[in-house]
């Protein structure tokens, strides 16, 4: 296990957060819940069809759980009234609220909003769109965050060491404007500091390095870079940089020899969702990197997503990240 992962788990243990897992009839989620409880990383609260959970638990050979398992079918009455109170100003009827309250994802989001749990981790089964929509509608945005964005923590093995990187945004904003690129970068800087305890080096990525190419699409990347640099004069921030210049010291020396970021970037800001999503999946599948997320930025309380291709180990680490986020809310 990398030093980064060890730090995440160490801090999560100190917090002892309750993390809701609303996909409790998926074997990977059940395995993760047992690991979270066994290692005392967090207190898992599993929301599941109780009969399905029991069947999977027995087939996996797990003992009776030493953590809370809630039967989602018995949650409707409690959750429906909360959903109605939260969404009635948007025209939601009581009947619609009752229908929504049958959804374990909705149940978990309401429990987070009302303080019954400290965080939510979902997405092993549900899509990112479903998770994000539920989070925005029922958990809500932080007052100082104009947009929801996301990042992946990418763990790369290099020379027997695992190097953490943040890739943003890879899950939410499709074609970010200049303002949105600034917001994504600022949120990612805060997330990096929160998860690592140190300042990052930030690279705004493009197909050009310091004017090696010209295209109208580069203008917003360059403008966003300058704005974030002016907002954080104490940090190392640069752009536009090609990916190899941002990550490989030897190439950085040739393409951007005067840059304090090139070859040493910790945070990669992608120009759009196509680039970010493709990059994280290629990195994960071809470079055997671990992809944790997408982690959501901008909510008033932490509710995070998973890739549907995640493992139980990924769910454990995303739960640890969620507990780390909960420390600052």
Q: What is the CATH number of the domain that holds 200?
A: 3.40.50.10750
Q: What is the structure's pLDDT at 158?
A: 64
Note the pLDDT tens digit of each residue in 33-68: 999 999 999 999 999 999 999 999 999 999 999 999
Assess contact for 318 and 152: CB atoms under 8 A: no
Assess contact for 125 and 307: CB atoms under 8 A: no
Residue 295 lies in a domain: no
Residue 96 lies in a domain: yes
Q: What total of structural domains would you count in the chain?
A: 2
Note the pLDDT tens digit of each residue in 15-38: 999 999 999 999 999 999 999 999
DSSP codes, 131-159: HHHHIIIII-B-TT-SS-EEEEEEEEEET
Assess contact for 25 and 33: CB atoms under 8 A: no
Q: What is the structure's pLDDT at 161?
A: 64
| 175 lies in the same domain as 136 | no
Residue 210 lies in a domain: yes
Share of the chain above pLDDT 90, in %: 89
| 131 lies in the same domain as 199 | no
What three-state secondary structure class fits 265? Answer: coil
| 269 lies in the same domain as 308 | no
Residue 227 lies in a domain: yes
320: CATH: 3.40.50.10950
What three-state secondary structure class fits 276? Answer: helix
Distance set, CA 184 to CA 166, 181, 233 (Å): 11, 5, 17
- Residue 209's domain spans which residues? 149-286
143 compared with 243, residue with greater pLDDT: 243
| 70 lies in the same domain as 173 | no
| 275 lies in the same domain as 165 | yes
Q: What is the structure's pLDDT at 160?
A: 55
| 74 lies in the same domain as 188 | no
Residue 293 lies in a domain: no
Eight-state DSSP code of residue 212? S
Distance set, CA 316 to CA 28, 37, 96 (Å): 10, 10, 33
| 124 lies in the same domain as 244 | no
| 160 lies in the same domain as 279 | yes
Q: Tokens at residue 6, please?
A: 């060890």
């Amino acid at each position: 296990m990398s030093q980064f992962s060890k730090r995440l788990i160490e801090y999560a243990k100190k917090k002892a957060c309750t993390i809701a897992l609303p996909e409790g009839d998926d074997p990977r989620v059940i395995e993760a819940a047992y690991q979270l409880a066994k290692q005392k990383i967090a207190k898992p609260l599993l929301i599941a069809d109780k009969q399905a959970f029991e069947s999977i638990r027995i087939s996996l050979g797990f003992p009776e759980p030493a953590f809370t398992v809630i039967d989602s079918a018995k949650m409707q009455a409690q959750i429906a009234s909360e959903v109605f109170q939260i969404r009635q100003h948007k025209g939601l009827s009581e009947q619609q609220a009752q229908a929504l309250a049958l959804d374990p994802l909705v149940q978990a989001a309401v429990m987070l909003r009302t303080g019954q749990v400290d965080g939510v981790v979902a997405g092993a089964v549900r899509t990112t769109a479903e998770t994000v929509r539920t989070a925005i509608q029922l958990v809500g945005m932080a007052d100082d965050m104009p947009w929801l964005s996301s990042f992946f923590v990418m763990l790369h093995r290099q020379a027997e060491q695992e190097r953490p990187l943040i890739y943003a945004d890879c899950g939410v904003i499709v074609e970010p404007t200049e303002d949105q690129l600034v917001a994504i970068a600022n949120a990612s800087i805060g997330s990096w500091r929160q998860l690592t305890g140190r300042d990052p080096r930030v690279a705004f990525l493009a197909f050009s390095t310091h004017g090696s190419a010209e295209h109208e699409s580069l203008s917003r990347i360059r403008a966003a870079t300058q704005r974030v640099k002016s907002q954080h004069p104490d940090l190392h921030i640069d752009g536009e940089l090609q990916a190899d210049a941002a990550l490989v010291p030897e190439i950085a020396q040739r393409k951007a020899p005067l840059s304090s970021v090139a070859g040493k970037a910790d945070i990669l800001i992608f120009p759009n969702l196509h680039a970010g999503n493709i990059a994280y999946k290629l990195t994960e599948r071809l470079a055997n990197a671990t992809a944790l997320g997408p982690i959501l930025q901008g909510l008033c309380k932490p509710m995070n997503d998973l890739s549907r291709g995640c493992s139980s180990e990924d769910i454990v680490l995303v739960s640890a990240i969620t507990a780390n986020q909960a420390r600052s809310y």
